Amino acid sequence: MSAVYLRSLDLITRVRGVRGAMVVARSDGLVVAEQLMEGIKGSTVAALTASLAGRLHRAMVAAGLGPSQFWHLQCEQGAVLAVPAGDGLLMVAVTEPEVNVGLVRLELLRAAEAAA
């Protein structure tokens, strides 16, 4: 299974502007697999994205929108994108500010499907 994750992460990180991608356990925010550029702390990304995903999930369910299928945090110097995958996992990408969000989303969804 880890080979599947690594292949998927490889495809995501090939998109121009992606600084790293990882598979994260939603329940405890731990890294399952990662492919990150130097300087990005995988454990920090994992913990923060899992926590944000949990809070967003509660807000969206309360709003009657159902669980989140994709989310995109836009920041001044980059972005974080994530999609849920099977078995309580999240596929996460950290990007530069200038990135083709649609393409990253597509690769994340493909990766999530492959992981499931």
Partner 1 sequence: MSEDVKTLSAELARDPQSLVFLRLGELLRQKRQFDAAARIALHGLERHQHLADAHDLYARILADRHDYEHAFDEWDMTLRIAPHHTGALKGLAFLYFKVGDLGQAESHLQAAHRIAPDDPSIAQAFAVIRGEAPSSGAMLPSPDDPVAEPLPSAETVAPLPETRVFAGLEGAQEGLLLLDAAGLVLGGALKTPEGGDVTEAVAAYLAGVSYEAARTAKLLGLGGWRGLSAEGQSGHVHVGQPTAESMLLVVRDRSVPLGRLGLLAQRAAQAARRWLERQG
The answer for residues whose C-beta is within 8 angstroms of residue 29's C-beta and 6 or more apart is 46, 47, 48, 49, 50, 51
User: Which residue lies nearer to partner 1 by CB, 67 or 88?
Assistant: 67
Q: Is 98 in the site for partner 1 (CB under 8 A)?
A: no
Nearest to 51 by CA among 30, 33, 36: 30
Answer for which of 36, 52, 103, 114 binds partner 1 (CB under 8 A) is: 52
Three-state DSSP state, 112: helix
Q: Is 44 in the site for partner 1 (CB under 8 A)?
A: yes
Q: Is 77 in the site for partner 1 (CB under 8 A)?
A: yes
User: Which residue lies nearer to partner 1 by CB, 7 or 51?
Assistant: 51
User: Which residue lies nearer to partner 1 by CB, 73 or 114?
Assistant: 73
Nearest to 39 by CA among 55, 20, 17: 20
